[in-house]
Amino acid sequence: LGTLITPLSRMRPWKLASETATLDNLSNGRVILAVGLGALDTGFAEFGEQTSRKARAELLDEGLEILTGLWRGQPFNFEGKHYQIKETNFMPPPPPVQQPRIPIWVVGAWPRPKSMQRVLRYDGLLPTMMDAEGNHVAFTPDDIRQMKAYVEQNRTLTTPFDIVVEGVTPGDDPQAAAAKVQPWAEAGATWWIEAMWESSDQPSQVLERIRQGRPES
65: containing domain: 1-102
pLDDT along the chain (217 residues), means of 10: 91 95 97 91 75 92 96 93 88 87 97 96 96 86 98 97 95 92 97 81 82 81
The β-bridge partners of 129 are 110, 137
Same domain flag for 80 and 126: no
Same domain flag for 123 and 38: no
Same domain flag for 76 and 153: no
| pLDDT for res 151 | 98
| pLDDT for res 80 | 95
| pLDDT for res 92 | 66
Which residues lie below 8 Å from residue 217, measured CB to CB, with a gap of 6+? 178, 181, 182, 184, 185, 186
Final residue belonging to a domain, choices 63, 84, 102: 102
Same domain flag for 94 and 57: yes
Query: Long-range contacts made by residues 179-183, C-beta under 8 angstroms, separation at least 24?
Result: 180/215, 181/215, 181/216, 181/217, 182/217, 183/141
Final residue belonging to a domain, choices 58, 87, 102: 102
| pLDDT for res 108 | 97
Same domain flag for 39 and 77: yes
Contact 32, 2 (CB under 8 A): yes
Same domain flag for 217 and 114: yes
Final residue belonging to a domain, choices 61, 81, 102: 102
| pLDDT for res 199 | 62
How many domains are there within the chain?
2
Same domain flag for 40 and 72: yes
